[in-house]
Chains A and B, each alone.
Chain A
Amino acid sequence: MKSGLICAGSVLMVLGGISQAQAADLTISCGAVGAELQLCQAGVERWEAKSGHSVEVVSTPNSATERLSLYQQILGSHSGDIDVFQIDVVWPGMLAPHLIDLNKHLPKGATDGFFEAIVDNNTVDGQLVAMPWFTDAGVLYYRKDLLEKYDLEVPATWEALTEAAHTVQAGERKAGHKDFWGYVFQGRAYEGLTVNALEWIASYPDGGTIVDDDGTITVNNPQAVRALSQAAGWIDDISPHGVLNYTEEEARGVFQSGNALFMRNWPYAWDLVQSEQSSIRDKVEVAPLPAGGPDGESAGVLGGWNLAVSRYSDNPDMAADLVAFLTSFDEQKRRAIDGAYNPTLPALYQDDEVLAAVPFFGTLYDTFTSAVPRPAAVTGDNYPRVSNAFFNTVHEVLSGNVAADQGLERLQGELERIKRRRW
């Protein structure tokens, strides 16, 4: 309910925030998924205390797709209402024309100690358009109590996951738990589905990506057909039909109320499913996502968010200082401990306090550092279009409206149509 209200009210809040912005020295927009908003607010308050400036925090829609639309409207109108933007790892190329080069506003060596791959990702034409704030990769949450109860192992492949989900779901329903499901993920037609489906496809040997690094369309291949057909089989079998309209928070709602065995989500959910209000506290563990068959490899898609300063900001130096503070070692450590947000500083993955709060940061380090990127760099401005065509096709396949091979065939045509408008 809470996330829904936030979602519904976010536009109003943004407008409200903008109208009040005159009062504050700076305005920052951060996400409101899970505990994001509170964490952002707390970080901003620390900077306020340190610098003596005041900052307005504006919350934005939970869906990344909608957040991007909102940003594009604000930036497209050259509005300086928001100074600091929290931007997704796939947006720097798209939004670069509207963002300042942080190298010119931050002291030398500001990016030392950060994951190089993310810094590279945020560098467009030699300009550092955003500072890495937290990184992300898809992980598998599972109910260890239930796997133990049915004497099952943590699934290493999607096939094993399907089987385990069958067993436990049947057993739990027999025991009177009628709403119990095997697996929940993000199936709504939005960016999150692109991420989920790319994880399925990339986990199969030769499953490939949507578009490879050379810009060739690779998505229409037998392994991808296999991956999507399998996923389509989950609907109404081990996943509720409603998963076709789930984003991160809806999936977490089902899992956290104890109604699902497995959940695909980002690391942020850890802190919430382990919170005191959670009905499954201490019954959950995190593993890498399953691989596609015995020859496949686990493939978490790279996510993560960065902080960027708008070119239309009246106080770019002050805003850059806020960005530097929020992405600093101390602040990232606090966010890792309080909210299970993955640091972008490798050093923090060896920090004892961090590992005590989020044990899987140590064991899943490889998952986070070798995550699969989305084809945002190669498709450039057309990435939203490519992603949209992809998630709409996957959604159709999952809904059972079209077979996987036909869907991918059609997607190929559609991507060629998009490619014609230069990428």
Chain B
Amino acid sequence: MTVRESQSALSDNARYARDGRASGSLRRERGTRVRRQRVRAAWLFLTPMLIVLAAVAGWPLFRTFWFSLTDASLSSLEGAHFIGLENYLVFDNGWYGILADPLWWQSVWNTLYFTLVSVSLEAVLGVIVALVLNAHFRGRTLVRAAMLIPWAIPTVVSAKIWAWMLNDQFGIINHMLLGIGVIDAPLSWTADASLSMWAVIMVDVWKATPFVALLVLAALQMLPSDCYEAAKVDGIHPVRVFFRVTLPLITPALLVAVIFRALDALRVFDVIYVLTSNAASTMTMSIYARQQLVEFQDVGYGSAASTLLFMIIALVTVVYLYLGRRQLGGES
């Protein structure tokens, strides 16, 4: 190597070293630029979605809230007057407004009762069905597909089918119960106030259990097998294994299924409307709001009911998520 060559190599090294330092800061600079670019791109891609969301969710929500403060009616939406909170509660020789309407409070209670009972039943039955379907047996695929049928049938159709099966005079349910001697006179499932809520819950459980089962089954399929092998080696009782291993591991999926079902159940409409129409014993908040909005054409009052329904659902969701996270946090 000549001196010149070595000099040039040295200077090369020095240059490399210098370049290296420079490229470090350059990289950092470029990094923030890239990140900024990415953020900008993200917003660019998100904007259409946000606009759509504002148009299809935000605007109607705002409009409903606004209408709840007016005396709008279905035939004259344009001529509505601002009346403040009168639709909610007003004193005029006695209390008036939704919050003073006993029927509203009954529908709130009906909705909460329906949600609590049906979702609890669906969660328990869903887990049992999922455990069965997770076992290895012949024809499992077929049974899994068949199980989804109730969930696949549109609610209006399945509710009408059930309405006929529950018919007091010609219904097959009464026919079978009479046949095996459980009852001695036909029951009027959808007309009797003490039975109609249970009839509705039964149909809802029949329909929604497959949904819970599906989510839980997906969770079951992802479970690590080593825990079970260890449990088997230690000779632990299967029931104990279920409560100590399986249940905690599928809890996140179960919580998701339950919140989805609870939100659905809180705004339940179709199944009840088809089975029992406007009857007060099964009236839910959605049916109450619909009655005011459509049947009585009172958009102001009905919007107030819808707003309250929205707030109650939001409240339940927040409470549930808070409790769910605490529970999860405690376990992990």
Contacts and interface: CB of A to CB of B under 8 A. Distances in A.
A72 B157 contact: no
A4 B160 contact: yes
Interface residues of A, number: 42
Interface stretch (A81-89, A236-244, A340-348): A236-244
B57 to A, nearest CB: 21
Interface stretch (B139-147, B161-169, B212-220): B161-169
B74 interface: yes
Interface string B78-92: 000000000000001
B61 interface: no
Nearest to B280: A392
A176 interface: no
B236 to A, nearest CB: 51
Contacts of B160: 4-5, 7-8
Interface string A1-36: 100110110010000000000000000000000000
A188 to B, nearest CB: 7
Contacts of A98: 75
Contacts, number: 91
A76 B296 CA distance: 12
Interface string A248-275: 0000011000010000000000000000
A384 B276 CA distance: 19
Interface stretch (B122-130, B183-191, B312-320): B183-191
B188 A259 contact: no
Q: Which of B168, B190, B291 has the most CB of A within 10 A?
A: B168
Contacts of B169: 179, 240, 242, 253-254, 259
B156 interface: yes
Contacts of B163: 4
A97 B168 contact: no
A100 interface: no
A217 interface: no
Chain B: number of interface residues, binned into ranges = 20 to 34
B192 interface: yes
Given A240-B188, A245-B191, A254-B169, A388 B278 contact: yes
Given A245-B188, A253-B169, A384-B296, A97 B193 contact: no
Interface string A398-413: 0101000000000000
Interface string B187-230: 11011110000000000000000000000000000000000000
Nearest to B157: A8
A381 B191 CA distance: 29
Contacts of A187: 191
A4 B168 contact: no
Majority secondary structure, B binding face: loop
A361 interface: no
B62 interface: no
Contact of A245 (B164, B276, B297): B276
A381 B279 CA distance: 22
A177 B96 CA distance: 52
B188 A244 contact: yes
B280 A240 contact: no
B8 interface: no
Given A8-B160, A76-B297, A381-B297, A242 B167 contact: yes
B296 A385 contact: yes
B170 interface: yes
A73 B74 CA distance: 8
A190 interface: yes
Interface in B265-279: 274, 276-279
B55 interface: no
B295 interface: yes
A42 B296 CA distance: 34
B323 interface: no
A287 B135 CA distance: 66
A216 interface: no
Nearest to B95: A417
B191 A244 contact: yes
Contacts of A1: 164
Interface of A: 1, 4-5, 7-8, 11, 63, 65, 68-69, 72-73, 75-76, 97-98, 179, 187-190, 240-246, 253-254, 259, 381, 384-385, 388, 392, 395-396, 399, 401, 417, 420
10 contacts: A7-B160, A63-B277, A65-B278, A69-B295, A240-B169, A240-B188, A244-B191, A245-B168, A245-B276, A381-B297
Q: Which 5 A-B pairs have the closest CB atoms?
A: A242-B168, A245-B191, A244-B191, A242-B188, A8-B160
